[in-house]
Each structure stands twice: as structure tokens, then as C-alpha cells.
Amino acid sequence: MNLAEKAYESLFPNKKETRRFVLKYSAKFKPFNANAKYDSEKIVFSISKNWEEFSEELRIGLIQSLLIRIIKQDYDETFELDLYNKFIKNLPNYSKIDKSDPELLNSFNKINKDYFNEEINTPNLVWGTNSFNKLGHYEYTTDTIMISTVLKGEQELLDYVVFHEALHKKLGYKKTKTGRMTHHSKEFKQEEAKYKTKDIEKKLRNYLRKKKLIKALKFF
């Protein structure tokens, strides 16, 4: 029985899964990253080779965290899943901070002062791709805020997206009543609603529409 099968049996002890479980370690992933792909015949778990150095219990917890995203059914609480969630939440405290773009750092410092009393430790701050769909992302495993380059030079809009990602760093993720994890909990939404510019999301949508139109015109 491989780790994925152990993870499933512990998580869903009264359910039978007919698909095969495949576990692969990949050197292509960043430290602690993982994903799962599935079809009607198998579920393939691909995880960073860094995980090979950690205990079987922690790796089972990782696989279980992926399983509950795929199999949206009630599951049993497990020691391994709890161990994994605690591990991930504490990773930012041990991450190496060595990436700090000046524009993003300026935005983060402003947001940290205005909304968090400068209590949030500075994470890695980097630009991502020129994405319209994913404007920002907080990566717990490396303590990194990544922002889409479509917001370069747009201070007001950039500050809001940095604020949103800083909230993820501050609050982490919460368990819902169904036992699943959410990054946008009730507490998160309440904190986000305190942003001072009340029409900022409308401004953001209008800006993105304009940028998309310009991009389309350039294409043709």
C-alpha cells in the first residue's frame, strides 16, 4: 500500500475508491509545492522532491489536503492532516526573505502602516506574469506575495491587491463548518471591507476592461 492509498483510507475509511493512486516526486516543483490530476481511471499526485526528506505522516497529510479538494465529500479528521496544516501555516516563519521589488516594497510598507500597524513581517515581494485573471497570490510555503505586472505603475490599484494578499498572510486559511479549508473566510471578508477606498473594486474592473481592450486592439 503506497502513501496515497494510506492517505485515502484514513481520510475516507467507509468509502471505496476504484481509481488507481499514483505518487510522483518532481524536481520541477518549488519547495513544498504539489498538485493532483485525475481522470476516470487514476489520481496522480505530483509533489516536490523536497517532501522526500519529511516524515511519512506529514506527506500523508499533504496528500489528504489534495484529496479533499478532489473528493468533495465528508471526511474523517486525521492527525496527519492536522499536522500538515500546522506545518504549512508555520512555514512563513522559517522562509528565506531575499526578494523585494522596490515598487512592491513601497506599496507593502504603506499598506502595513495604514492597515496593520506595521505588525506584518515583510514577505518576499515579486512580480508575476502579465495576467488579467490572477492579479495577486500569497504563497504560504515561501512567504511570497506575487503581483501581476498589469498593475505596474498603478499605485492605487496595486495597493489594494497588495492589501488583499497581505490579509492572506495575516489570517491564513480557516476551516469551514463542513471541515474544508477556505482562504476567504468570514473574518477575511470583514477585514477586507475595512479598505478605505470603497469603490476600489469598481476602479479595478474598469481598469482591467480598458487594458484588455487596448491589448485586443494591438493584437489586431
Q: Tell me the pTM.
A: 0.73
Name the residue among 66, 15, 61 with its Cα closest to residue 38: 66
| Distance (Å, whole) CA 39 – CA 126 | 34
Beta pairing, strands 124-127 & 42-48: unpaired
pLDDT of residue 74: 86
Residue ranges of the chain that CATH labels 3.30.2010.10? 95-219
pLDDT tens across 93-149, in order? 778 899 999 999 999 999 999 999 999 999 999 999 999 989 999 998 889 999 999
Query: Domain 3-93 maps to which CATH number in 3.30.70, 3.30.2010, 3.40.50, 3.40.30?
Result: 3.30.2010
pLDDT computed for residue 172 by the predictor: 81
Q: What is the C-alpha to C-alpha distance for residues 43 and 171, in angstroms, rounded to an integer? A: 31
DSSP single-letter state for residue 10: H
The answer, yes or no, to whether residue 165 has pLDDT greater than 60, is: yes
- Look-up of cell digits 506575495: 145
pLDDT, residue 180, reads 63
pLDDT value at 176 more than 90: no
- The pLDDT of residue 183 is above 90: no
Task: Please tell me the distance from the alpha carbon of residue 89 to that of residue 141, in angstroms, as a whole number.
Answer: 8
Query: What is the tens place of the pLDDT at every residue in 14-55?
Result: 888 899 999 999 988 888 889 999 999 999 999 999 899 899
Q: What is the CA radius of gyration of the chain?
A: 20
Q: Dihedral angle at the C-alpha atoms of 206, 210, 216, 220, nearest 10 degrees?
A: 150
Residues 6+ away with beta carbon under 8 Å from 218: none
- Is the domain 95-219 a CATH 3.30.2010.10 member? yes
pLDDT by residue (tens digit) across 184-207?
788 889 999 999 999 999 999 999
